[in-house]
């Protein structure tokens, strides 16, 4: 027994059976999800849909998630997050099975696709907020940074491999099979999550507050941590005014060039490769001032839009995207580990939902603003403007002592 225990300890977080199951379930569901955008987009284009129609279908998934994410956080704080995530996986499997059936029958239509995409978004709103809390129930606090690093690595790898497999499915056996594989990945994830044995959560209160009261409690706690909401404001500005326009306008720039599509795909793959390496780097990084570390890593971010705005040589653009991937991975790992340690367990799901809402759910607004901003400032001007705003915001927070000086010693 001693030898077995020592062997598990030598493996670190990978010696934790619960975490290995969680990591496998996360990889499968992320891999499946990465298959679908390529497959569904090509299927819709084949049916005569334009870029606006495809964007509308993909956005139909984001809107319910943005609207219901906070309620998902309340549910995950009140009930075992594992159960809610299993329900979410089963619901997503059902939605994707129905979509695959439509693709197999060649009867794809907006009337059916939009509600199914919305159901997928609703399920994502149930799944996302509880992940941080579940992770703290199966992984000791000291091993959370390593756990987050491994999750970041496998998410990045799934993001690299999934679109390629989705494209191969479309070219060989059809888009329906890619969506069917996604449905199977959710079923497998649900089965694996059901096998987890997390520590018991906090006992339920006899008189739980209403949904709106619980949301207000979460908001009060969120607003009471200035370093937290200021950083989330930075993420929101970065996603809305810089990264979303970079995705749209970067693709637009390369669409006008010979062999532009594979070149743009190479840049995104370089970012994914950087993110995988960044996750590996983050396995050993333990900054004592994590918020300051996040801000310093984020100083690399403006290189990504700047290299496109300045029409830098292609090799330099590839290097900037690669560095951007390393930056993204380290920021995500340090930030998630900090939230998991700094936020009380009974509030973690709700405050994670506020974090996700501010950090990512404004991206559709950024997609909408990208076109008008390009008309006003030009493509290059829009990219430079976003990079400048983000840089100024980062420097301001670095100079604001109460934010950047937050240390691990401040948390229990």
Q: Which one-letter DSSP state was computed for residue 411?
A: -
Residue 394 has pLDDT above 80, yes or no: yes
Which pLDDT belongs to residue 6? 46
pLDDT digits (tens, 9 = 90+) for 229-265: 899 999 999 988 998 888 878 877 776 777 666 777 7
Using CA atoms in the order 293, 219, 347, 294, what is the torsion angle rounded to 10 degrees? -10
Contacting residues for 258 by C-beta, under 8 A, at least 6 apart = none
Q: Which one-letter DSSP state was computed for residue 257?
A: S
- Let me know: does 230 contact 403? Beta carbons within 8 Å: yes
- Let me know: does 276 contact 154? Beta carbons within 8 Å: no
Domain with CATH 1.20.1250.20 in the chain: 1-208
- Let me know: does 350 contact 309? Beta carbons within 8 Å: no
Pick one of 2.60.40, 1.10.3470, 2.40.128, 1.20.1250 as the CATH number of 209-412.
Answer: 1.20.1250
- Let me know: does 378 contact 249? Beta carbons within 8 Å: no
The residue behind tokens 């059976």 is 17
pLDDT digits (tens, 9 = 90+) for 79-111: 888 888 999 999 999 998 998 888 887 766 667
CA 342 – CA 334 distance, rounded (Å): 12
pLDDT digits (tens, 9 = 90+) for 348-388: 888 888 888 777 667 777 777 877 888 899 989 999 999 99
Residue 312 has pLDDT above 50, yes or no: yes
A 10 A CB-CB count for 341 gives 17
Nearest to 218 by CA among 72, 13, 33, 6: 72
What's the pLDDT band for 1 if we cut at 50, 70, 90?
very low
Between 191 and 402, the higher pLDDT residue: 191
In this prediction the pTM is 0.76
A 10 A CB-CB count for 253 gives 18
CA 70 – CA 67 distance, rounded (Å): 7
Q: Which CATH superfamily is domain 1-208 in?
A: MFS general substrate transporter like domains (1.20.1250.20)
For 145-157, what is the mean pLDDT?
Answer: 84
The residue behind tokens 């129905």 is 98
């Amino acid at each position: 027994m001693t030898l077995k225990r020592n062997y598990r300890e030598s493996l670190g977080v990978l010696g934790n059976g619960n975490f290995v199951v969680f990591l496998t379930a996360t990889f499968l569901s992320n891999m499946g999800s990465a298959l679908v955008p390529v497959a569904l987009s090509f299927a819709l284009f084949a049916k005569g849909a334009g870029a606006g129609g495809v964007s509308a279908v993909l956005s139909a998934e984001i809107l319910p998630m943005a609207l219901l994410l906070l309620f998902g956080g309340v549910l995950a704080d009140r009930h075992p997050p594992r159960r809610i995530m299993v329900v979410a996986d089963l619901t997503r499997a059902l939605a994707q099975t129905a979509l695959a059936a439509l693709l197999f029958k060649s009867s794809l239509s907006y009337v059916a696709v939009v509600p199914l995409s919305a159901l997928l978004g609703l399920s994502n709103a149930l799944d996302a907020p509880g992940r941080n809390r579940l992770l703290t129930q199966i992984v000791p606090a000291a091993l959370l940074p390593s756990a987050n690093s491994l999750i970041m690595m496998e998410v990045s790898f799934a993001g690299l491999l999934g679109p390629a497999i989705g494209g191969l499915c479309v070219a060989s056996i059809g888009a329906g099979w890619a969506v069917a594989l996604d449905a199977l990945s959710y079923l497998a994830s649900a089965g694996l999550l059901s096998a987890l044995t997390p520590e018991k959560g906090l006992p339920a209160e006899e008189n739980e507050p209403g949904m709106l009261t619980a949301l207000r409690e979460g908001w009060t706690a969120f607003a009471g941590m200035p370093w937290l909401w200021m950083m989330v404001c930075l993420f929101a500005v970065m996603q809305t005014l810089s990264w979303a326009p970079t995705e749209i306008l970067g693709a637009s720039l390369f669409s006008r060039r010979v062999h532009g599509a594979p070149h743009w795909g190479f840049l995104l793959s370089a970012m994914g490769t950087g993110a995988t390496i960044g996750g590996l780097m983050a396995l050993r990084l333990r900054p004592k001032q994590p918020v300051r570390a996040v801000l310093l890593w984020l100083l690399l971010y403006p290189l990504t839009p700047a290299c496109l705005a300045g029409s830098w040589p292609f090799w330099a653009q590839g290097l900037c995207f690669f560095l951007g991937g390393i930056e993204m991975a380290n920021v995500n790992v340090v930030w998630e580990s900090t939230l998991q340690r700094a936020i009380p367990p009974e509030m973690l799901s709700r405050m994670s939902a506020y974090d996700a809402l501010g950090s990512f759910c404004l991206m559709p607004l950024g997609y909408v603003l990208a076109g008008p901003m390009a008309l006003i400032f030009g493509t290059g001007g829009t990219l430079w403007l976003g990079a400048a705003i983000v840089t100024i915001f980062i420097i301001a927070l670095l100079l604001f002592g109460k934010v950047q000086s937050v240390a691990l010693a401040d948390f229990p």
